[in-house]
A and B are shown apart, each in its own frame.
Chain A
Amino acid sequence: MTNGDPSVVVRDLVKRFGDFVAVDHISLEAQRGEIFGFLGPNGAGKSTTIRMLCGLLHPTSGHATVAGIDVAREPEKVRQQIGYMSQKFSLYNDLRVIENLRFFGGMYKVSSSALPERIRWALDMAGLTDRESAITGTLATGWKQRLALGCAVLHRPPILFLDEPTSGVDPISRRQFWELIHRMAGEGVTVFVTTHYMDEAEYCNRLVLIYRGQIVASGSPTELKQRAMKGELLLVECEPLGPALETLKSAPGVMDAAVFGDALHLVVPEASEAVHTLNSYLSERGIRVKKIETIRPSLEDVFVSLTTTHAQSAPDRRPQ
């Protein structure tokens, strides 16, 4: 699946807007056929990084190559090598399906001899072969999404950028979409996904977590959940909940405590030890414990634990 030279290489990429450092020394590598995720909240620097990689924004400093092309020196050439699918799809709702395909085919300079074949392929992939005359605006979200994907890859780019591709999309369409992405990755396409949805990140082979312009962690979703988290996560069901939370926040050995539905989630350095101590700690304070168990941290737990420590060690230099 992944072999040969990495298709995207980024070294110490920086982008400044006046005093504001949007992207602060980012480095990464993505292999051919890899689904690579950029995970972080809005304003963290994801879009700025992607724009630089697409040749739309000039880096302040640092170095990036996409499909072997230096993005700073030959931005025009880069754009022929990439496909881009934006959030909410940027399709023309008043054009027919086939007209959208022809339009994007023209934009990406697909040769007129190759275009009919590519259009047929895209229609087939999206499942719209009998519906090429349908007005795009009348399609359901899932169909539009697959059509948008087709439009983005008519020119067979080796690298594909997806910006929040399945946000708000129903789970079934989402799974079908990711099935297509996996197929493309299997054929060697490198797929870059930016998202702030933690559960979307699960579909990626590898992730980098971005916060305030910097990478705070990288690895596969499983690796991140196992190793990047500082401490372990406990689920505590007890009563009464409110007072329990108050005392646990200041309890020794509790790194973080938060309500989660009917229970509390606690971050502790060591789970098995903590289970014992907490049982007695809570009972002493008149709190009835129903259940304490170790649970697997989600990517969001990982993110929070990393960004809290990150924020503590490096105060935000950006204007809030």
Chain B
Amino acid sequence: MNWRRLAAMAHKELIQIFRDPRSLLVVVAMPILLMFAYGYGISFDIKHVPICVLDRDASQQSQDLLKHFQASEYFRVVKVANNYRELNAAIDAGRCQLAVVIPWDFSRKLAAGGKVEVQAIVDASDNNTANVSMSYSEAVIRGYSQQVQLEWLQRHGLAGASTASAPIRVDARTWFNENLESSAGIVPGVVVMVMAVVGTFLTSLTIAREWERGTMEQLISTPVTSMEVMLGKLAPYFVIGMLDTTLCAVLGVLWFDVPFRGRWSVFFLSSTLFLIVVLSLGYFFSVVGKSQMAANQMAMLATFLPTFLLSGFIFPIDQMPVPVQVISWVLPARYFMTIIRSVFLKGTSLAQLQTNLLALGVFAALLALLATRAFHKRLD
């Protein structure tokens, strides 16, 4: 291994990366763009759902209930309907997703101390939002209901006893992501996506480009060895990949307020292994692809789609059918995703992440071997 030759290859590659506006864009802008696009764009939190109300009672109590809805940040009253027809029209037109109907005997029944039903109609064509909207509206109503109960008890001098009378109480604690902010779950996943896409995308061009431009034929007639070519070409991408990953992690912590409870050493160890995986893969495609376009397409197909769908980024793996779960076992991104999420949100120790790290290590070794074997200094 001649270090001078290796350095010459790395130096040349670095110059070429920085002189090509497109690769510069990918290196600098893409990670930031992906972070913000996914961090903000994908959110399972429901806020400001447009709702429509029909108040048939028009009493002080009904108005009180409606104020609860209005005050909630989950809902936004966009229409106060006068009758069912208007309500239906609003839902059909998509102007509101949820409709609350307060019956005409609301206040009378409440005053009498009995039960009263409030109707909530939800547009379930967006399944996700519908479910959550339903539960939120139930929560709002329950909140109001409790308030009414409390006032009644107070008026009847039984306030002290009320708290003990609720038969069942649910003590819900959400671990690791108290606010159930989906960005906390998404953002670490974006770190994985960025590395997978940027790493494989960039390297997939490197060998194919030299063939296409015609410089490869002369290169293979020089003393440089295949190993020097590979390591020399991948070295700059490794450094860039590490920097990009760190940038994403820092952005996640500082901007998206994602906690970082694990150790930086685990972060860098797993990142190194995963980088070896993606760079080897990209290099392999570049050798096999023969043209930049072909290599690029292979790279995108092999990294973006599986990482997005099967690594646990959006869709939980254990909710998938078993055959698909099996497929995810051969996806290095799956293991890295688990590790990264742990590092950010859980802070588990190295020992507990052993299996995942080992799996990642095996993949790194296998793919690196594949990449070294793929390139030959021959024209045929």
Classify A-B as touching or not with yes or no (CB < 8 A): no
